[in-house]
Amino acid sequence: MTQDTVRLADILETIQTLVECESPSDDHTAVAVSADLVAELGESLLGVAPERIVIDGVSHLRWNFGGATRVLLVAHHDTVWPMGTLGRLPFAVRDGVLTGPGSFDMKTGLAMALHAVAAMPDRDGVSIIVTGDEELGSPSSRALIEESARGARAALVLEASADGGALKIERKGVSLYELVVHGRASHAGLEPEKGINASVELANQLLAVAALSDSELGTSVTPTVANSGTTGNTVPARASFKVDVRARTSAEQQRVDEEIRALTPVLPGATLEVIGGVNRPVLERSSSEALFERVQETAAQLGLEPFVGVAVGGASDGNFTAGIGVPTLDGLGAVGGGAHAESEHVIVEEIEPRTRLLGALVANLAGDTEVGGR
């Protein structure tokens, strides 16, 4: 087979089958059923069954062709949509637009990966990993992704594109924290002075944390969910708030981590506890540059328009592959929009050419001695 055998009708059939199998990340049974389906579809297209890997109850799949992995395709089959969503947001194709839960993020990209590799006459050195908990931050699959990518020349991530089909050549790193304040309870009316008010300490710390942002460097430090107290007439003994950190550079991610851990209480007797840390390392532009150039060359060979590369704030499993030093390019999947929203959609006319591009790119990279070589 060659990329000339890639047919839009076949890819659309695969996408429909995937979308109509609901797979919310937090439902291990549903994810297992989805993994069975992905394995069946993949075996039919690729001629070989995947390795089935279950970690902490989550089902992941991996295909390895030939010897050492030179090119790793990264996808996931879980979605943010709860069971039953398909009943009110069914799969549909109307006026060149494909809709359905998980269609954009990222079952179209998964279908594209399977069809692109299926059309390759020589798959030696190519691997595909399909994880089942990406939408949760990949808690069970991170080590598997890093293991699968280690030593590869390139990792190609089939997450959906940015606006207008742009590729994602830079992703911010993500750190997640919970800051817990421990105080002392007392009666708010009879003897408030005997308490150590965790709510007041929380307010002090929340402002200190928010001040760690640096908009000029692209660093956001955002307090989110906060909880405090037990009853309306009790000085709170415990309070907590969560923090979402996004950073463009590893240095900034490390700087924020150090400063959060160095926080000290304002109220005498209060204590602080920091839970969490770096969730996904930064995907810096330097990790994508050579691969982005290769995409442009491949697109020109196929008669496609040049691509645009953009930086985005969201993270993906590509952050993990870049974090261990593997050249990584993201956003190679669907063109459309509405990720995690009821407006989720895919532009149908973009599917086939991008699948052909993906197959040609993988073949090019797998046959090379190094990224950036000729």
Q: Which residues are catalytic?
A: 78, 134
**Rounded to 5 degrees, what are φ and ψ at 241?**
-145, 150
What is the C-alpha separation between 125 and 117, in angstroms, rounded? 11
Instruction: Tell me the CA distances in angstroms from 118 to 1, 2, 302, one per residue in order.
Output: 8, 8, 19
Burial (CB < 10 A; 0-12, 13-18, 19+), residue 263, is middle
What is the C-alpha separation between 157 and 100, in angstroms, rounded? 21
What is the C-alpha separation between 58 and 52, in angstroms, rounded? 10
Structural tokens at position 57? 């109850």
Residue 258: CA atoms inside 13 Å, Cβ hemisphere, count? 6
Exposure string for 303-331, b = 16+ CB within 10 A, e = fewer: eeeebebebbebbbbbbbbbbbebbbbbb
What is the C-alpha separation between 215 and 265, in angstroms, rounded? 26
Separation of CA 190 from chain center: 51
Within the chain, residue ranges assigned H as helices are: 8-19, 28-46, 85-88, 108-118, 142-149, 198-210, 250-261, 285-301, 318-323, 351-366
